[in-house]
Amino acid sequence: MGSVEEERSLLEAELDRAENSGLYTGDGSVDFNGNPVLKQNTGNWKACPFILGNECCERLAYYGIATNLVSYLTKKLHEGNASAARNVTTWQGTCYVTPLIGAVLADAYWGRYWTIAAFSTIYFIGMCTLTLSASIPALKPAECVGSICPSATPAQYVVFFFGLYLIALGTGGIKPCKGSFFNWFYFSINIGALISSSLIVWIQDNAGWGLGFGIPALFMGLAIGSFFSGTSLYRFQRPGGSPITRMCQVLVAAFHNRNLKVPEDSSLLYETGDNHSAIEGSRKLEHSEELKCLDKAAIVTDAETKSGDFSNPWRLCTVTQVEELKILIRMFPIWATGIVFSAVYAQMSTMFVEQGMMMDTKIGSFTIPPASLSSFDVISVIFWVPIYDKIIVPIARKFTRKERGFSELQRMGIGLFISVLCMSAAALVEIKRLQLAKELDLVDKQVAVPINILWQIPQYFLLGAAEVCTFIGQLEFFYDQSPDAMRSLCSALSLLTTSLGNYLSSFILTLVIYFTTKGGQIGWIPDNLNEGHLDYFFWLLAGLSFLNMLIYTLCAAKYKQKKAS
């Protein structure tokens, strides 16, 4: 036994030397077989094409459903404008809640690789179910006869929404398990989104929804293939146990030691003695001075000192474990301000599309599907990502002395400001549209107003610029600031802002409908938008965005960065 222990010690010492020399990754990552990985053989741009290819195909599949979903609900399932918008935002919200499930499984039990593999399969089954619901005659809702539009049967609703929410579950295991290359990662996402918002939307509106849903299902199959192809080049983070359990342990231990005084010398707080953290796959975190009440979880009591037993994490936690919770608490205000931005972003696939349906969609002899205007958001992203990366960052770097030009927090703040401009632009277009409807005596007629749909381009283009700043900055912020063993969870929390933003949009819509239709009033968002005031709704979101930006500025100014050993 002595020789085995000696060999193990020598091996660990050799690995430590290799890590210190920079040959190995040094962040706890391993290869597919669980061995430490050399930097030069794995990860970075070697693995990047497979991840980007997977994400491009997966996002093409997702946006192939999401972009034009409101049209399917209104035209095929015969739902009203407000009901369809609520269903879309609720589904999209669920798509960004389920990453919490995937994150916990990835960080605590399965690892990112097997989590992506399992949930991709669920995703693919959901895509196929949705395709069948739009292809098999018995599962398709009946077409309108004149002005009479029969409702879909309960069975048709069940099959359609079953497939839709399988997709929401499937995407939950993929979204939180991706990291790094954030600018180009987002670039690949939007290549997929561009194809969806142009070609796939046109196919859905002109060649049929069965084919329009089937093509995204095919691309989801390609996404799975791309992901598995790069297996030998990936770096795997060992599951570090449930991060939620670790946070609960800190709270319980701190409460148990509530009557003890935190020592002035932080080195007296409990931490493992070797170079490695007690948390699998994580570096140690340096002690911070904030939230000292939580430090009580790391106080070594006299009883533990006498017994020499430091193994009960519900009574004694390491400094790193305490710092994990502190980091999440510090990030919370920044996280919360992303919710309103996501509510603004949700309008692209709901109210922007419904606004476009009431505008002139013809360019010469060609008819533009209203949902296709979202391609200008994608074009904006594709335009701004390389511009930001290759031009803005080098210029900003000269003034800020920061490697990335702007910090993640500064980048997110710029995006929040642009989102105010986006909603203001949408409101101004709607004012002009309603003014023209009044002049042409079209208020009482549910027909498109002869104002060209291309007037929507500025609001989509501004939204794309806001995306590049806010969403990419948010991804970078949560990935960089999260503890090593909680990266999937923190990525899921950043995605949760999108979910809550969609739910917030649904909630605001519900409140607007309730208060503006009191006393028999038409309301701001009736089925005939010519009679309503969608512009008021856009101004409301612009005002909320401005207030949100002010709150964010205060929170960002007070934020303190993570320090890892």
Query: Quick one: three-class SS letters along 489-530?
Result: HHHHHHHHHHHHHHHHHHHHHHHHHHHHCHHHCCCCCCCCHH
Report the alpha-carbon distance of residue 153 to residue 77 in Å, rounded.
Answer: 9
Extract the tokens encoding 145: 């006869």
Backbone angles phi, psi at 310, to 5 degrees: -115, 25
Residue 88: pLDDT above 60?
Answer: yes
Output the 3-class SS for 99-154: HHHHHHHHHHHHHHHHHHHHHHHHHHHHHHHHHHHCCCHHHCCCCCECCECCCCCH
pLDDT tens-place string over residues 92-110: 878 877 877 877 777 777 7
Q: Which residue has the higher pLDDT, 347 or 232?
A: 347
| pTM more than 0.85 | no
Residue 1 DSSP class: -
Question: Model confidence at 328, in pLDDT bands (50, 70, 90)?
Answer: confident
* Among candidate residues 273, 263, 272, the one with its CA nearest the CA of residue 295: 263
Which residues lie below 8 Å from residue 519, measured CB to CB, with a gap of 6+? none
Amino acid code (one letter) for 89:
T
Residue 449, beta-bridge partner list: 359
User: What is residue 346's predicted lDDT score, i.e. its pLDDT?
Assistant: 86
pLDDT tens-place string over residues 354-392: 888 888 888 877 888 887 787 788 788 878 878 887 888
Query: Average model confidence (pLDDT) for the chain?
Result: 80
* Among candidate residues 340, 332, 343, 339, the one with its CA nearest the CA of residue 477: 332
From 232-241, 398-407, 468-477, 501-510, the region with the lowest mean pLDDT: 232-241
* Among candidate residues 76, 80, 68, 206, the one with its CA nearest the CA of residue 133: 76
Report the alpha-carbon distance of residue 495 to residue 179 in Å, rounded.
Answer: 13
Report the alpha-carbon distance of residue 416 to residue 410 in Å, rounded.
Answer: 10
Question: Model confidence at 186, in pLDDT bands (50, 70, 90)?
Answer: low
pLDDT tens-place string over residues 212-245: 888 888 888 888 887 787 776 766 666 656 777 8
Amino acid code (one letter) for 350:
T
Which residues lie below 8 Å from residue 200, measured CB to CB, with a gap of 6+? 60, 63, 64, 67, 68, 212, 215, 216
Report the alpha-carbon distance of residue 79 to residue 70 in Å, rounded.
Answer: 9
Q: Which residue has the higher pLDDT, 543 or 373?
A: 543
What is each CA distance from 497 to 241, 437, 501, 523, in whole angstroms? 24, 37, 6, 29
Ranked by mean pLDDT, which of 312-326, 335-349, 533-547 comes out on top?
533-547
Residue 127: pLDDT above 80?
Answer: yes
* SS3 assignment, position 436: helix
From 229-238, 322-331, 411-420, the region with the lowest mean pLDDT: 229-238
Residue 560 DSSP class: -
Q: Which residue has the higher pLDDT, 90 or 190?
A: 90
Q: Which residue has the higher pLDDT, 184 or 433?
A: 433
Extract the tokens encoding 197: 């918002």
Report the alpha-carbon distance of residue 48 to residue 154 in Å, rounded.
Answer: 44
Give the angle subtended at the CA of 431 by the CAs of 428 and 436, to the nearest 5°: 130
**327-564 and 29-241 share a CATH fold:** yes
181, with CB counted inside 10 A (0-12, 13-18, 19+), is middle
Q: Is 263 left (phi over 0), alpha (psi -120 to 50) or beta?
A: beta
From 303-312, 387-396, 479-488, the region with the lowest mean pLDDT: 479-488
pLDDT tens-place string over residues 237-269: 666 567 778 888 899 999 998 888 888 888 888
Q: Which residue has the higher pLDDT, 219 or 147?
A: 219
Q: Does domain 29-241 have CATH number 1.20.1250.20?
A: yes
* SS3 assignment, position 415: helix
pLDDT tens-place string over residues 13-63: 444 454 454 555 555 555 555 566 655 555 555 666 777 677 777 778 888
User: What is residue 422's predicted lDDT score, i.e. its pLDDT?
Assistant: 94
Locate tokens 């739009």: which residue? 134
Specify the CATH number for 327-564; select among 1.20.1250.20, 3.40.50.300, 3.30.70.20, 1.10.287.70.
1.20.1250.20
In the chain, helix, strand, coil percent, each to 5? 70, 5, 25
The whole-angstrom distance between residue 338's C-alpha and the CA centroid of its chain comes to 10
The domain spans of the chain are 29-241, 243-324, 327-564
User: What is residue 404's predicted lDDT score, i.e. its pLDDT?
Assistant: 73
Tally of residues, the chain: 565
Report the alpha-carbon distance of residue 562 to residue 559 in Å, rounded.
Answer: 10
User: What is residue 436's predicted lDDT score, i.e. its pLDDT?
Assistant: 92
Report the alpha-carbon distance of residue 30 to residue 27 in Å, rounded.
Answer: 9
Radius of gyration of the chain from Cα atoms? 26
- Mean local confidence (pLDDT), 475-499: 77
Which stretch of DSSP H or E encloses residue 215? Answer: helix 209-229
- Mean local confidence (pLDDT), 494-520: 86
Amino acid code (one letter) for 187:
F
pLDDT tens-place string over residues 151-176: 778 888 889 889 999 998 888 766 65
